[in-house]
Structure 1
Amino acid sequence: MKLLTAAQTREADAATIREEGIASAELMERAATALATWLKARLAPAAAPVLVLCGPGNNGGDGLAAARLLHQQGYSVQVGLLPAAQHSADWELNRARVPAEVPVTEWHLGQFPAIDPATVVVDALFGTGLSRPLEGTAAALVQHLNAAGARVVSIDVPSGLFADAPQPTGSSVVKARHTVCFELPKLALLLPQNAEFVGQWHAVPIGLSPRYLAEVPATMHLVDAALLAGRLPARATFAHKGTFGHALLLAGSRGKVGAAVLAAHACLRGGVGLLTVSVPAVGYAVLQSTVPEAMCLPDECKTHLSNLPELKPYAAVGMGPGIGQDDDTRAVLEELLCTAKVPLVLDADALNLLGANRSLLDLLPPNTILTPHPKEFERLTQPAHNDYHRLELLRNFARHYGCYVVLKGAYSCLATPEGELYFNTTGNPGMATGGSGDVLTGLLTALRADKHLGPLDAALLGMYAHGRAADLAAADTGQAGLIAGDLPRYIGRALHELTTPRTL
């Protein structure tokens, strides 16, 4: 699924109107109907009064149309209008359609009515076309609404929030509990810095032009099951362990052998044919007893990795979980970067070693997959001014080094060497626990060892299945009770959901 800019969203509206030969008011009616249907599914008519706050543009027109539809469905609705000298044509049309029984009043500065916290407020003040911070009456109304503590549902984006640009410090933005966006979410809804405004977002279809959506160029995408369809083929009847590759994991150090265990379990559950794990000598007994399916190569050093095994047998190598940052281990990483002829996956302390020795970045083989969290990524590049700047750094880093970078977090973002960004849609806050990243490293290493998968498909499948496994696990454990060790047990189910069945 593509992520469009605000300008492209307006073009999609225009293309739909043009191709279907409809009036813009009809598309507005679709949007209002989708919003009213969403509200009706979650809020009984007798549950609470509904206040619809409308601005002077088409976002306000959506709100006026929704107010009419909600009134027709038995809700107690009132409308508050932001005073303005001009209104859009569709706003005027929908203002005239509001039944006389629905109270409609203008809300003037200094005369805002009190908002009962039990009220459900539909925020239809401003949409994606906003290009400057709110001021005057509009800013004051937003502050009044936020102070009320009511349950707020914003249309498309919370009023005052820019759809695809950094938010000016101190600007007034509605703090919504839910944001209902039409057809596709906006970039702003996916970024941590906007979480306090967006709440939970929900995309509802309104029938925008399939042709336009298919043809419009986009460098940002949402990763969902539909995007991944056909990327993971079913296993052939006569497949054997050699078919799916022999992977090597370089992991663990004294006190962190558990990271190697987690990565190994995930690699095996990710479908690798054979797995060898190189650990310091202190981890040998642990690996042999906890992951009997894996072969273990004990390093001659007891506490940390000091030697790189012969790489010829392996189809992919993962390095980083729990390895520490000893000089010997840095030398192993450098040797790996210089000699590896197979796909690499780097995480955790491998990334920290790269950050502390940035000259090693120039040795990264093409198509290497890196999986930093934001702090690790900052060590590789520089501190970001905001989330938009971080995405710019991410895109530039992947392009410059010809690698794939999974920036971990809610809506983990994969950057490709071509400059595309893919935002993941699976996962939950239960993953905010030690070891989750080690599981991702093992899973990605398994997928890179599979000769049927290229780097993009492997990265997308791994990122999505990692989050999906967490969703499946949380359904059993709850988010608070989720630990990283739960995740490998659900990786197989997550991948099975994505596997393309054989057909005639």
Structure 2
Amino acid sequence: MKIFSKEQIYEGDRLTAERQNITSTELMERAGIQIFNWLHTRMQGAQVPVHVFCGIGNNGGDGLVLARHLVTHGYNVKTYIVNYSDKRSKDFLINYDRIKSTTKDWPVLLKCTEDFPPIQKEDIIVDAVFGIGLNKEVADWVKSLFKHFKASAAYTLSIDIPSGLYTDKVTSDQDAIVKANYTLSFQAPKLVFFLPETANYTQQWEILDIGIDPEFLYTTETEAEFIGKFEVLPLYKPREKFGHKGTYGHVLIIGGSFGKIGSVALASRGALSTGCGLVTSYVPKCGIQILQTNLLEGMCISDSGENSIENINIDIEPSAVGLGIGMGTEAKTLKALEIYLKETKAPLVIDADGLNLLAKKKILLKLMPKDSVLTPHPKELERLIGKWSNDFDKLKKAKAFSKKYSCILVIKGAHTITVYGEKMFVNSSGNPGLATAGTGDVLTGIITSLIAQGYEPLHASIFGVYLHGRSADLALVDYGYQSLIASHVIDYLGEAYIDLFKQPEQPKTEAEEES
């Protein structure tokens, strides 16, 4: 699913009106009706007080359309105009006149804190104050209104985007943004729904199709995409009837040090469970017995070092290499990595201490093969690209890093973002249970396995991140957040593959329910 920029959204609205021969007012009516239909389906005529707070721009116009339809359908609705400026949009004014001609209970004008209405916890707030066009600081009295929303503890529904939230920058003033329980986003999600500093302003979001021009939606290239099942399904490569273990690639996992051999075992098991034909683990001598005991399906090669990797000497030609997990950052290991990078031509997935070693000696980054995949957690990312001032600055620096070194950055988090040049792919799967030791090692094995099976590194990253998160989601049913461990993610990879082809369950008819 594409994630459009603010400018692209405006262009989509304009082209829709032009190509469908409708006015912007008619498009606003269409959007407002869709909001009403969503709310009407859930309320079914219930007389819970609904407070619709409208700004004086187009987002406020959407709110006025909603309020008018709520009135005509007999709901207990009160409408307010948040009068933060003397300027009004044309479509707002048209819909302001329409609601005044519909009901004698005209919208109440709010100009200061004394005008705020009482709101009970059992009420519903519809936030239609600011949309994506917000371009200046929120006035103090409007911030007080947003605090009034929060203090009421009433269910808050935001239209398109929580008011006060920008689409392309972060504000540090939490009082200037509405905290929504639910956001109805027109046609596509907003990138700010997925970033750590801004995602907490809406607990849930949903897309409303308002009939934007299909050609525009299909042909417009976006900087970001939201990745779910239907985005990764076309990437899937089915098994061949006459395939054998050599058909599906040989993964080499290089890593481990004394006390950290388990990370290699997890990455190796993750690779095997994702479908590669062969896995060889390269570890210091102290790890051989552990791996031979715990990884029955894998092969092992030992380094000359007893407790850490000191000299990477390999006589096999792997299809892909996962590098760095549990490796440690000793000087001898750094030297061994430098020599290996100068010699290898195999596709690389680099994680954990592999990234920390590269950050120690950044000139080594230039030795990485093209389209190497780097999978940092936030601190590892900071060591690579430097400190950032906010999430947008982080993404800007990540894109510059990706372009400079011709690599793929998998920025791990609640919504893992895969960065490749100017493109970003935001993952939909996964849950807080993944915040536990070893899950990143499993991800390294998964992505390495997919590359070994013939997936392009970018596709392997996107698909691997989704499979990893989806496996954790499926395991959640049995283990919950707190008890989920990295091994469970591996155990449910088969279910994650099967889930790709499951059809959504259809709701039962009344007759089926009765039977």
Of 453, 465, 468, 1:466 maps to 468
Distance 1:397 1:47, change over 3 A: farther
Task: Give the TM-score of the pair, scaled to structure 2.
Answer: 0.91
| C-alpha displacement of 1:170 | 6.3
Cross-structure match for 1:419: 422
Q: Is the 8 A contact 1:52 1:121 kept in 2?
A: yes
CA-to-aligned-CA distance 1:169-204 (integer Å, 9 cap, x gap): 567111212222111111222211113323322222
CA–CA separation in structure 2 for the residues paired with 1:290 and 1:341: 30
Structure-1 residue corresponding to 2:91 = 90
Q: How many residues align?
A: 498
In the alignment, which residue of structure 2 is the partner of 1:387?
A: 391
Q: CA deviation at 1:46?
A: 3.1
Residue aligning to 1:436 = 439
Q: Deviations over 1:194-218 (max 9, x none)?
A: 1332332222222211101222232
Counterpart of 1:16 in structure 2 is 16
Aligned to 1:252: 256
For residues 147-162 of structure 1, the aligned pairs below 5 Å read 147-162=151-166
| CA-to-aligned-CA distance 1:249-282 (integer Å, 9 cap, x gap) | 0122222222112111110111111001112223
2:339 alignment partner in structure 1: 335
Alignment pair present for 1:348 and 2:349: no
User: What is the distance in 1 between the residues matched to 2:41 and 2:322?
Assistant: 46
Deviation at 1:496, TM superposition (A): 4.2
The yes-or-no answer on 1:193 pairing with 2:197 is: yes
Residue 2 of structure 1: how far off its partner (Å): 1.9
Do 2:47 and 2:76's aligned partners in 1 also have CA atoms closer than 8 Å? no
| 397 and 55 in structure 1: CA distance in 2 versus 1, 3 angstrom threshold | same
- Partner letter of residue 90 of structure 2? A
| CA shift in 2, pair 1:170/1:228, >3 Å | closer
Say which SS state the counterpart of residue 281 (structure 2) adopts.
strand
Q: 2-side partners of 1:428 and 1:178: how far apart?
A: 19
- Tell me the residue number matched to 1:62: 62
Q: 1:311 to 1:458 in 2, by over 3 A?
A: farther
Match of 1:236 among 209, 233, 240: 240
Alignment match, 1:450? 453
Question: In 2, distance between residues paired with 1:379 and 1:167?
Answer: 25
Q: Which amino acid aligns with 2:27?
A: L
Distance 1:5 1:478, change over 3 A: same
Q: Which letter does structure 2 place at the counterpart of 1:288?
A: Q
Distance across 2 between alignment mates of 1:186 and 1:180:
11
Q: Deviations over 1:453-494 (max 9, x none)?
A: 211111111111111111111133222332211111222332
Higher deviation after alignment, 272-281 or 66-75: 66-75
Deviation at 1:134, TM superposition (A): 0.9
2-side partners of 1:366 and 1:331: how far apart?
A: 21
- Which residue is 2:507 aligned to? none
Residue aligned with 1:396, SS = helix
Q: Is 2:257 the counterpart of 1:266?
A: no
| 1:41 Cα deviation after fit | 4.9
**CA contact 2:286–2:306 (8 Å) conserved in 1:** yes
* Aligned match of 1:296: 300
Alignment gaps of 5+ in structure 2: 503-515
Distance 1:331 1:36 in 2: 64
Separation in structure 2 between the aligned mates of residue 42 and residue 330 of structure 1, nearest angstrom: 60
Question: C-alpha displacement at 1:127, in angstroms?
Answer: 0.0
Give 1:150 shift: 2.4
Distance 2:201 2:487 in 1: 33
Aligned-partner Cα distance in 1 for 2:222–2:253:
36
Distance across 1 between alignment mates of 2:379 and 2:170:
20
Contact 1:107/1:113 (8 A) holds in 2: no
Q: Which moved more, 1:139-148 or 1:428-437?
A: 139-148
CA contact (8 A) 2:147 2:175 kept: no
The aligned amino acid for 1:27 is L
CA distance in structure 2 between the partners assigned to 1:490 and 1:445 by the alignment: 18
Structure-2 change in CA distance of 1:308 and 1:4 (3 Å): same
Larger deviation: 88-97 or 111-120?
Answer: 88-97
Bigger drift between 391-400 and 478-487 goes to 478-487
The 8 Å contact of residues 250 and 318 in structure 2, kept in 1 or not, is answered as yes
Partner of 2:36: 36
Q: Partners in 2 of 1:283 and 1:33 — Cα distance?
A: 64
Range with bigger deviation, 400-409 or 453-462 = 453-462
Query: Quick one: which amino acid aligns to residue 18 of structure 1?
Result: E
- The secondary structure found in structure 1 opposite 2:198 is helix
Equivalent position SS for 1:242: coil
Return the letter of the residue paired with 2:68: R
* The one of 325, 328, 331 aligned to 2:329: 325
Letter in 2 for 1:484: A
Cα shift at 1:103: 6.1
SS of the residue corresponding to residue 153 of structure 1 reads strand
Query: Which segments of 5 or more consecutive residues in structure 1 lack a partner in the other structure?
Result: none
Separation (CA, whole Å) in 2 of partners of 1:326 and 1:45:
68
Distance of aligned partners of 1:74 and 1:350 in 2 relative to their CA distance in 1, 3 Å threshold: farther
The aligned runs of 1:366-377 (5 Å cut-off) are 366-377=370-381
Secondary structure at the residue paired with 1:193? coil
The 2-side partners of 1:306 and 1:85 are apart by 71
Q: In structure 2, how many angstroms separate the alpha carbons of the residues matched to 1:291 and 1:248? A: 14
RMSD (CA atoms)? 2.1
Distance 1:425 1:119 in 2: 31
Matches within 5 A, 1:100-119: 100=103, 104-111=107-114, 112-119=116-123
Q: Among the aligned pairs, what percent are the same residue?
A: 39
**Paired residues of 1:77 and 1:103 also in contact (CA < 8 A):** no
1:417-440 CA distance string (max 9 Å, x none): x32111111111221111111110
Shift of 1:232: 1.8
Alignment partners' CA distance in 2, 1:283 and 1:47:
67
Check whether the contact 1:344–1:445 (CA below 8 A) recurs between aligned residues.
yes
8 A contact 2:365–2:405 mirrored in 1: yes
- Asked if the contact 1:278/1:297 (under 8 Å) is kept, the reply is yes
Give the aligned partner of residue 77 of structure 1.
77
Q: 1:383-407 CA distances to partner (integer Å, 9 max, x unpaired)?
A: 1000000000100000000001100
**Amino acid in the other structure paired with 2:193:** L
Instruction: Give, as a single letter, the amino acid of the residue that structure 2 aligns with 1:323.
Output: M
Any conservation in 1 of the 2:467–2:496 contact (CA below 8 Å)? yes
SS at match of 1:118: coil
Q: Secondary structure at the match of 1:477?
A: helix
- Whether 1:277 aligns to 2:281 is yes
Letter of the 2:88 partner, please give it.
H
Native 8 Å contact 1:109 1:140 kept in 2: no
Report the Cα distance in structure 2 between the residues aligned to 1:45 and 1:320, rounded to whole angstroms.
Answer: 59
1:211 pairs with 2:211: no
Choose 339-348 or 205-214, whichever is displaced more: 205-214
In 1, Cα distance between the equivalents of 2:262 and 2:113?
A: 61
1:10-68 Cα deviation digits (max 9, x unpaired): 11111111111122233223322332333345555437422111001110111111223
The change in CA–CA distance for 1:499 and 1:320 in structure 2 (over 3 A counts) is farther
Distance 1:414 1:78 in 2: 44
